[in-house]
Structure 1
Amino acid sequence: MTQVTKQQIVRWLENAAAKFEQEKDFLTELDRQIGDADHGANMQRGFHKVMDKLPDVADKDIGTIMKTTGMALLSTIGGASGPLYGTLFLRGAISTEAKEALDLAALTTMLSDGLKGIQQRGKAVAGDKTMVDTWLAILNTLAQNQHAPLEEALKQALNASEQGMLSTIDMQARKGRASYLGERSIGHQDPGATSSHYLFAELCRAILS
C-alpha cells in the first residue's frame, strides 16, 4: 500500500465516531480533573454530527470530506475544542482539495497544515499540556520517516502519538482552563492530547487494517 484512499478517510471518521462514543466517559473523567468535565460529551456530539453529514459527501474528494467534517465539528463541539478540531480539518482540507488519494507526503502535509492551524488559533507550543503535544509527536515522527513505507511510518507515528499523550501527565498546564490549577495540574493526563491520540489511532486503524 502506497496511498490512502478516500474510502479509508471515510472509514477513519466512522471509526473515530465509534471511538468517541466508547470513550466519552473516560474523556469526561480526565476533563473533570483539570477542566470543565465536558470534553467527552463534546467529542461524542461533534462526531455524531459528522456521521449525519458524511453520507452526503462520502463519494466526494478528500478535501470536501475534510471540509464538511471541520464545519460539523466547528458548529457542534463546545468550548475550546470545537474551534481547534474544526480548524484541524478545515486546514487539512486545503491541500487535499480535489484529491482522491494521498501518499505519505500528502497525508503528512494535510496533518501538518491542521496542526499549524491549531497552533495559530490556540497559541499553544510543545510542553503546554495540550493536544499540540500529541500532534507534534506525530508530525515530527512522520517527517523523520518520509522515505519509509507508509505502513511503517504510520506505526512509528502511532507509537509517538501515545508517548506524546502520556508526556502530558508530568507537565504543568500553561493553556486553557487547566492552567488555572498551576502545579495541581501536574499528574493528570490532558484530555485534548488524549482525544487527539484517539483520532490519529483511528486513522492508522482505517489505513492499516
Structure 2
Amino acid sequence: MGSVKDDVADLTAFQSWIAGAAAELAAAADHLGELDRAIGDGDHGTNMARGFGRSAALAKEEDFASIDAYLKKVGMTLVSTVGGASGPLYGTFFLRFAGPMAATEDAGVHAFAQSLHAGVDGIVARGKAEVGDKTMYDALAPALEAFDDANAEGASLADCLRAAADAAAAGRDATEPLVARKGRASYLGERSAGHVDPGASSAAILLETAARTLG
C-alpha cells in the first residue's frame, strides 16, 4: 500500500492509485462495455481495463525516482494501450498531471490541486469538450470544482478527494438525459439521451479510487 501521512501522498501511494483504478476498471469492464454499446462501439470497458492494467504493471517492472516520472510513464502507456479516443485523453490527463509534481517526493493538497487542474485542462484542450456535451468532462468538471471548494475551505487532501469523487459520481449520473454533442455518441443525436456516458463513468471510477487510495 502507498503511504499517506501528514496529509501528503508519496510515490507508492500514487502507484496504489493506479493499481486500484486498474482493479476497479477491470471489475467494471462489462458494465462500461454495456454503456458504450448503447451509444458507441462497445469497447470502452476492455480498452480501459487493458490500459490501466498495463499501467499498474509498471510499478513492478521499473524503479521510478519520482512521482512525476511515474505518472508520465503512466500517461504514455495509456496513450499506447487504451486505443480509441480515450487513450489520448486519459494519457494527456496523466502527462499534464505529472508536470506540477516535478521534484515533489510527497504531494499535498495544493500540489494535487495544481496537477488536477493541469490534467483536466489537458483533456479540455485535446477533446474540446464543454460541460453538457455528454463526455468524461461532465464528471471531471464538477469534481475539479468540488476539490477547489473544499481546498479553499482548508480541507485535508482526503476530504478534498472525497468531495471530488462524490461530485464526479453526480456528474456521471447527470449525463443520462443529455444528448451527446461530441464523439461517436453524437452521431445518434436524440437517441443518445437516456444513457449514462461511459467516459464519465470511467472518470468517476478514477476519482473514487483516488479518494480511497490517496486520501
TM superposition score normalised by structure 1 = 0.96
1:33 matched to 2:38 = yes
- Residue 138 (structure 1) shift: 0.7
Report % sequence identity: 43
The one-letter amino acid paired with 2:156 is P
- Residue 120 (structure 1) shift: 0.5
Uncovered stretches (5+) of structure 1, i.e. residues with no partner:
none
1:203 matched to 2:210 = yes
CA distance in 2, matches of 1:97, 1:139: 21
Q: What aligned pairs does 1:31-180 form with structure 2 within 5 A after superposition?
A: 31-57=36-62, 59-146=64-151, 147-180=154-187
Report SS of the residue matched to 2:175: helix
Residues 94-103 or 82-91, more deviating: 94-103
The one-letter amino acid paired with 2:172 is M
Give 2:188's aligned residue: 181
CA distance in 2, matches of 1:111, 1:193: 16
Give the root-mean-square deviation of aligned CA atoms: 1.2
- Count how many residue pairs are aligned between Structure 1 and Structure 2: 208
Residues 170-179 or 155-164, more deviating: 155-164
CA distance in 1, matches of 2:80, 2:158: 34
For 1:173-208, what per-residue CA distance to the aligned partner results, in whole angstroms no more than 9, with x for missing partners?
A: 000000011111111000000000001111111023
Residues 45-54 or 34-43, more deviating: 45-54
Instruction: Check whether the contact 2:161–2:210 (CA below 8 A) recurs between aligned residues.
Output: no
CA distance in 2, matches of 1:31, 1:2: 37
CA distance in 2, matches of 1:184, 1:95: 41
TM superposition score normalised by structure 2 = 0.93
The one-letter amino acid paired with 2:195 is H
Instruction: Check whether the contact 2:120–2:140 (CA below 8 A) recurs between aligned residues.
Output: yes
Uncovered stretches (5+) of structure 2, i.e. residues with no partner:
1-5
